[in-house]
Amino acid sequence: MFSVDNYIGSIKSNLEKQSDLLVGNLKNIFTYNFSSDTDLLDFSAFIEPTRFELSIIMFSMDKEANEVFYEGNDTTVFAGSVEVLSEVEYHQLNDSQLDDFFEFYEQNEETLIPQEQKAFTDWFSQCWEKVGGDALDLPSYFVFHDDYKSFDLKNNQWIDDEEKWS
């Protein structure tokens, strides 16, 4: 009933429908006047697997892995976080299929999780490239919430999280 290829294909297809929204939101972020205390940007993906939803929040960070906040009077300075994408659906199922799907997922999760992460990362990276992300002066990373690795958007490679803080 379910297959790895069909599931991953569904994710890619549903993400593609959100590309214009993500590209527009990234273009907006690239206009920000980031606080001088900001050393890097973390685009954190939050996945809600029981509802098949993805949210992405950008955090302005310093080299000590702390979120940067600005308490000055210049209203043009940005620090903190901003939602880049709000709870978009990346897969659709009828409620009657959920139990069977989650059984399939559990049996195949060693195959599915890396392929899901690749689909999400490739999609975000493609949108990043469409808006000229390389022109942004700050090192920028795509990361799955509470994961130990980050995708370096400038160098197109996965790194251990500790590398971005050094």
pTM of the model as a whole: 0.93
* Distance separating alpha carbons of residues 128 and 139, to the nearest angstrom: 13
| Structural domain span for residue 151 | 4-165
Domain count, the chain: 1
* Distance separating alpha carbons of residues 77 and 9, to the nearest angstrom: 40
> In the structure encoding, which two tokens stand for residue 158, read together?
């996965």
Cβ distance 54 to 46 under 8 Å? Answer: yes
- Helix 98-130 to helix 4-16 angle (10° resolution) is 50
pLDDT in tens, 4-43: 999 999 999 999 999 999 999 999 999 999 999 999 999 9
